Amino acid sequence: MARSLVIKVTAGADAPERCNQAFTVAAAALVSGVPVSLWLTGESSWFALPGRAKEFNLEEAAPLADLLDAVLAGGRVTLCTQCAARRGITIDDVIDGVRIAGASTFVEEILADGVQALVY
């Protein structure tokens, strides 16, 4: 069985380097053939909304919108249920391909055989 990667990103514009690192690692893993599940939590929750990733800018870094598009195309993107609720985000608000799921789904993913979990 191939290993897979689950990445939880808690940072957004409040910690741009940490945020961008998570998206960069997710995209790089996909390019390397690794199955990826990216979880948007905390301040990164806003990137589940259309156009928000395009507003993010970090000098000398790949555009966040491009990284998110890559993960959406080749992996899975999940918005935390509680994080969405606290921000008034519903399934009708998010980018196509983003699902909303909670802690039990996250735990199930990270405890599966062959999974490496990273938190940024």
pLDDT in tens, 58-86: 999 999 999 999 999 999 999 999 999 99
**1-35: b (≥16 Cβ within 10 Å) or e:** eeebbbbbbbbbbebbeebbbbbbbbbebbeeebb
pLDDT in tens, 90-120: 999 999 999 999 999 999 999 999 999 999 9
Distance CA 22, CA 10 (A): 9
Question: pTM of the predicted model, to two decimals?
Answer: 0.96
